[in-house]
Amino acid sequence: MESVPPTPNKLYFRTDIQGLRAIAVLLVIFCHANISPFTGGYVGVDIFFVISGYLISGLLINEYQQSKNISFIGFYSRRFKRLLPALITMLLASIVAAEVFLSDSDARTLLRSLPYAATWTSNLFFSFQEVSYFDELATKDLFLHTWSLGVEEQFYIIWPLLILGLFNSRYLKNKISTFFIALTLAGVFISIIWTQYNANTAFYLMPSRIWQFSLGALVYYLKTRSSQIASPKFASYSFYFGILGISLILTSSIFFNQNMAYPGYWSLLPSIGAALLLATGDRTPNNSHLLLNNPILKWIGDRSYSLYLWHWPILILGNFADLTRNSYGIGILLTTTLIVSAISYRFIEKPLWKMKTSKAHYRTIIMASALAMIVMIPLNILVNSQSIETSNQRNSLANARIDMPVIYTMNCDSWFRDAKVQPCTFNSEQAEYTMVILADSIGAQWFTALQSIYPSPEWEVIVFTKSSCPMVDENYFYQRIGKVFTVCSEWRDEVLTKIEDMKPDVVFVGSASTYPFSSSEWVQGSKRIYDRLAKATIQTFIIAGTPNLSFDGPTCLSMQLLQNGKLSSDTCTEPAHLAQTKKVSSHLEAAAQPYSNMQVIDLSEKVCPNNTCSAVTKDGIVVFRDSRHLTDTFVQSLKSELHQRLQDSQPSLHLNN
């Protein structure tokens, strides 16, 4: 479609914006599909927010300039007509797919946000929900991606009121650009401070994102009102500003990752990049700017909303179907996403969006939309009321997720919430010896086996554990809280002080091998811990981290049962990822080498025998309760192996046979 020069009273179609939308949605999809090198592809959402601010503000400003008023019912009915049908279709299709391909319990977990996604409030749900550390499926909610739609809809609630108020204000109507600048700067400041305080809520909630919408609004207003931006001189520099804009976006998408607090000041880069492209995309010769008018990008941009809606549930269900381990499977999922999105756009999104409506129909559209959203609530209740599988195999898989040591029913792991030391103590009254476990959740998974090896009444067993807290004296950025895990460092230091005062006979120290430390940090950080333990205990055992699965074990087994009704160790397997585990184990050995009373115990090859990890053993024991943690039942099956290694190293102490 041929673009025409901008005028204050007309919001004309720009193919370069469709190209920018295409880039935004492709970055998001590549990030979620783990396609290298786009680790920061989540910045595509920031681009969408700036585009929305530009377009929605333009529509509202144009409407006011033409009629000296804004029809709120007309605005909201157009938004509902544009966005809701495709959203409801995606929700219903995802419900059906989850019920068909997943177990009842997994389906309920992955569909928890359904009523919030249907009412554009899922960002509130994901921001404030209480999530257990071991609730790994919560990060795979089928509607997690709808948080950004919630942010946009909440923006739409206040923005028409704001635009109308600006133009009707005697004081502000001549200072609108100043207002947008002030709102943008204030919003950036709030976002930076909020991200440092609580990155999770800053990421999901609209107030920390509103500056991106106001930035888009500022660009639109300046383009239509500023003589400088409209001047030929500015147009001569447009190409270079565009180069800078696309560079900021691509740099962000490649060099950003999950190990950084976001949005905060980092979000300035992609947002400014998007603003530069919006300001210059239609100002270059022949209206052809940086290939954003490429027909392929335009085609993708036209379908960007459908692509965004469908890609996440398809990728998540594909992960459970074991299709994300290699490029071939990912290719299948991306192709499926493209096909489904094209169908959704052609038969659902576009026909209803382009449907002619009169003012008389606005109320009907809003009422029908409200009814569609309300209906999703009892549907959610119906989904949650479905019966749980009752076969023995189904029950064993359902129980596998909670098959963990008894310490997790007690109060000794406060996770990230505070640094208070609250040990779990067992057999304390008549004990002659003391054994201490100092570990994260991976190290603490050996508790039940160790407690039986160091029995009462001879042994007092004390557990100090904090999930995701490595027994390495180094700080790290913890993705799930969106900041450096300083609570861990404070807690760990206090626990070591307590152990130094206690002087126990034996200490078991252990943590996962997946923390993002360098080789030097692993060795030196561990050594600083071991130096304190070596002086405080008779013997310290270091339990190396165990291998992970690239998929959720119980879910994979559930899908296997759904397909053939059998539970076999020949499926839900993969080559063991032992390289990282062995590498970290060697770092632990290097750190322990100077101390005569320290020994590393590595049971990785027992967890994944013959270099193969399986979700279930040949004897039918479920190995993993998620993708990382071992079931307590499986740990106890390795008790004899663990006992033998300890007996060989510590024959003088009283161990249970």
Same domain for 65 and 196: yes
545-557 pLDDT per residue, tens: 999 998 889 888 8
Same domain for 171 and 149: yes
Which residues, 6 or more positions from 2, have their beta carbon under 8 angstroms from its beta carbon?
none
| Closest of 481, 444, 488 to residue 464, by C-alpha | 444
Same domain for 512 and 426: yes
What's the rounded Cα separation, in Å, for the pair 214 and 232? 26
Residue after which a domain boundary falls, among 349, 364, 384 = 384
Same domain for 412 and 341: no
Same domain for 445 and 302: no
Query: Between 46 and 398, where is the model more confident?
Result: 46
Same domain for 155 and 46: yes
User: Distances from the Cα of 19 to the Cαs of 15, 183, 212, 334, 356, in angstroms?
Assistant: 6, 28, 19, 19, 26
Would 617 be classed as within a structural domain?
no
| pLDDT of 637 over the 70 cut | yes
Would 461 be classed as within a structural domain?
yes
The type of residue at 358 is S
| pLDDT of 280 over the 60 cut | yes
Would 555 be classed as within a structural domain?
no
Cα-Cα end-to-end distance for the chain:
81
Average pLDDT score over the chain: 89
State the CB neighbour count (10 A cutoff) for residue 218: 25
**Once rounded to an integer, what is the mean pLDDT over residues 45-54?**
98
Q: What is the dihedral of CA 625, 628, 632, 634, to 10 degrees?
A: 90
Would 611 be classed as within a structural domain?
no
Residue after which a domain boundary falls, among 384, 405, 423 = 384
What's the rounded Cα separation, in Å, for the pair 569 and 619? 8
Name the CA radius of gyration of the chain, rounded. 29
Same domain for 429 and 353: no
Q: Where residue 491 sits, what CATH number does that domain have?
A: 3.40.50
Q: Tell me the HSE value of 500 on the side-chain side, using a 13 A CA sphere.
A: 12
Same domain for 398 and 378: no
Banded pLDDT at 235 (limits 50, 70, 90): low
**Once rounded to an integer, what is the mean pLDDT over residues 394-420?**
85
457-494 pLDDT per residue, tens: 899 999 999 999 999 999 999 988 888 999 999 999 99
Would 43 be classed as within a structural domain?
yes
What is the predicted pLDDT for the residue at 619? 87
| pLDDT of 236 over the 80 cut | no
What's the rounded Cα separation, in Å, for the pair 445 and 636? 10
Same domain for 409 and 308: no
DSSP code of residue 535:
H
Sign of CA dihedral 452, 453, 456, 460: negative
Contact 356, 66 (CB under 8 A): no
Would 407 be classed as within a structural domain?
yes
| pLDDT of 593 over the 80 cut | yes
What is the predicted pLDDT for the residue at 5? 36
Would 616 be classed as within a structural domain?
no
- Please tell me the least confidently modeled range out of 28-32, 98-102, 154-158, 594-598: 98-102
| pLDDT of 638 over the 80 cut | yes
Contact 400, 553 (CB under 8 A): yes
Same domain for 409 and 353: no
Banded pLDDT at 389 (limits 50, 70, 90): very low
DSSP 112-143: TTHHHHHTT-HHHHHHH----TT-GGGGG-TT
311-360 pLDDT per residue, tens: 999 999 998 888 888 899 999 999 999 999 999 999 999 888 777 665 55
| pLDDT of 500 over the 50 cut | yes
Two tokens, residue 96 = 């059906």
What's the rounded Cα separation, in Å, for the pair 261 and 268? 13
Same domain for 210 and 95: yes
Same domain for 132 and 47: yes
| pLDDT of 99 over the 80 cut | yes
Residue carrying structure tokens 């002087």: 503
What's the rounded Cα separation, in Å, for the pair 438 and 542? 10
What's the rounded Cα separation, in Å, for the pair 594 and 524? 12
Q: Domains in the chain: how many in total? A: 2
Would 371 be classed as within a structural domain?
yes
What is the predicted pLDDT for the residue at 293? 85
State the CB neighbour count (10 A cutoff) for residue 356: 5
Residue after which a domain boundary falls, among 384, 415, 440 = 384
What's the rounded Cα separation, in Å, for the pair 509 and 588? 11
**Once rounded to an integer, what is the mean pLDDT over residues 248-253?**
97
Find the domain containing 534 and state its range. Answer: 394-549+578-606+640-647
56-81 pLDDT per residue, tens: 999 999 999 999 999 999 999 999 99
